[in-house]
Amino acid sequence: MYTLIAMIACPYDGASAQEAAVCTQYQAATSGIPSKGVPIVPDALLQDIKTAVPCLVTLISGLEPSITSPKMPSDAGSKLLSATAALRAIMARQSALDAASGTPNDTTKLNEFISLFRDKDNVAVVSVLTYAARSDIYDARLNSVLILGNIIDNTTVCVPIVHLNDPELDSTDYGKNGRANLLGIISVVAPWAYFENYDAIEQTRAVLSAKVGENPDYKTTRTILDNIDKRLRSQTNQTNRSVPLPGEFKTACKNYIDAYRAKHTITGTFKY
């Protein structure tokens, strides 16, 4: 979906330039000196979510070359914390509007946020958020997990799947916490995962289940893995697990896996 939008926007240089000019204020609002604290995006910039969400997602995408490990550079980490806090604030406001609508289980406003986010997201955006979800910074983990849990889908779930197959997660306590975070995120997609994603989730679940075993230190992780198993089993041969991932998304996942493997160790073989 985001690829199509990019293709449509290209011929209209004036419109693209105008969008870039509008987004400049979000770049400025999230910039600062890390040692002086994380910049807070002014509330006035968050009122129009049709502007704020695309600009903040584009900003996060631009951090992808700098954030290539859970140990984020201080300047990029500060900007990411600022942007994700702003997105989290928008999500909270949208959810509050749903709660005040008077309609039980209303998610109309939150779904508006999700749609705006997905229109601009891609594997680069989810890569940045995935590194943050397994980082040593608590607020980065919290913000990113809350966002990913709402926006993750079949087009981008391959990213946290790849990270879950990185043995480095076992080397630190925050990495182990990050693993539980990422398992919770991929569980969202499990009941409607396409063929390649379904296979990768099941393979990852089986490997990690064998690794954690009955170790009491991994009680939470084991619970999440059991939940993933149940959610995968809710699918049948007539559901998405038999449907191939569309070509452009399959290619994006394969390219991401190849690039990740070039820098990190990952286990498992995937069908992307």
Encoded tokens for 125: 């955006």
pLDDT of 8 above 50: no
Q: Give the position of tokens 């910049």.
A: 39
H or E segment at 236? none
**pLDDT score at 16:** 65
User: What would the pLDDT profile of 206-256 be if each residue is shown by its tens digit?
Assistant: 999 999 988 888 999 999 999 999 999 999 999 999 999 999 999 999 999
What separation in angstroms does the CA of 158 have from each of 10, 89, 92, 143? Answer: 27, 27, 27, 20
Q: What is the mean pLDDT of residues 44-71?
A: 97
**52 φ, ψ (degrees, to nearest 5):** -65, -50
How many whole angstroms separate alpha carbon 29 and alpha carbon 77? 14
User: What would the pLDDT profile of 129-162 be if each residue is shown by its tens digit?
Assistant: 999 999 999 999 999 999 999 999 999 999 999 9
- The reported pTM is 0.91
**pLDDT score at 110:** 98
- Average pLDDT score over the chain: 92
pLDDT of 35 above 90: no
**The dihedral of CA 9, 15, 21, 22: what is its sign?**
negative
Percentage of the chain modeled with pLDDT above 70: 93
List of residues 6+ apart from 112 with CB closer than 8 A:
49, 94
pLDDT of 6 above 90: no
How many whole angstroms separate alpha carbon 191 and alpha carbon 171? 30
73 burial (CB, 10 Å; 0-12 / 13-18 / 19+) is middle
